[in-house]
Amino acid sequence: MSRGLAFTPEVIQQWNELHFEYCPPNGESKRMVQKRTLAYLEPIIEQAKNQSLRENREISISIFTHENLIQSILQYYLQSNPKYAWLIQQNNTAINEILLNEHGISAVKINDDNHLRFLISEMQNESLDNYDYEQINS
C-alpha cells in the first residue's frame, strides 16, 4: 500500500488529534510502543540502580534505536506532554543522555550530533577537492 493510500485525510486528522494514542490498522500507537519498551527497560534500569548502590559507582545504559522510540523514552523520563513528544528533534545517530539518580531525572544531552562534526568537515573538504579537480581538468 502506498503512503498516499494509507495517509488519507481522515487518517491524518485522527493522527493529529490523537497523536500519542493513534493506532494505525494492524499497528501500535506510540503509547503502546512506549509501554512495551518501558516494560523491557525498567527492570534493566532497576538492576543498574542496585548495582550502582552496591558498587558505589555510576552505571551507564546505552540504548540504540530509531527516532520514534527514543522520542517516547525521552517524553516519559522527562515527563513532558505526550502530545508533543514528536517535537523532540532527533537527528540520525544523535546521542541523548539522561541522568537518573537520587536527586531525580535530568537531561544532560538531547539530540547531540557533535560526534559527526569531523566527518562533515572531512566530507565537505573532499567534495571541494573533487570539485576543484574536476574544474581544473575540464
Q: pLDDT tens, 83-131?
A: 888 888 999 889 999 988 878 888 999 999 888 887 766 666 665 555 5
pLDDT band at 33 (very low <50, low <70, confident <90, very high): very high
SS3 call for 111: strand
Say how far apart CA 66 and CA 51 lie, in whole Å: 28
Is 63 or 124 the better-scoring residue by pLDDT? 63
Say how far apart CA 67 and CA 85 lie, in whole Å: 11
Grid coordinates representing 98 are 539522561
CATH topology of domain 3-112: Rossmann fold (3.40.50)
Quick one: pLDDT at residue 39? 98
User: Is 31 in contact with 21 (CB distance < 8 Å)?
Assistant: yes
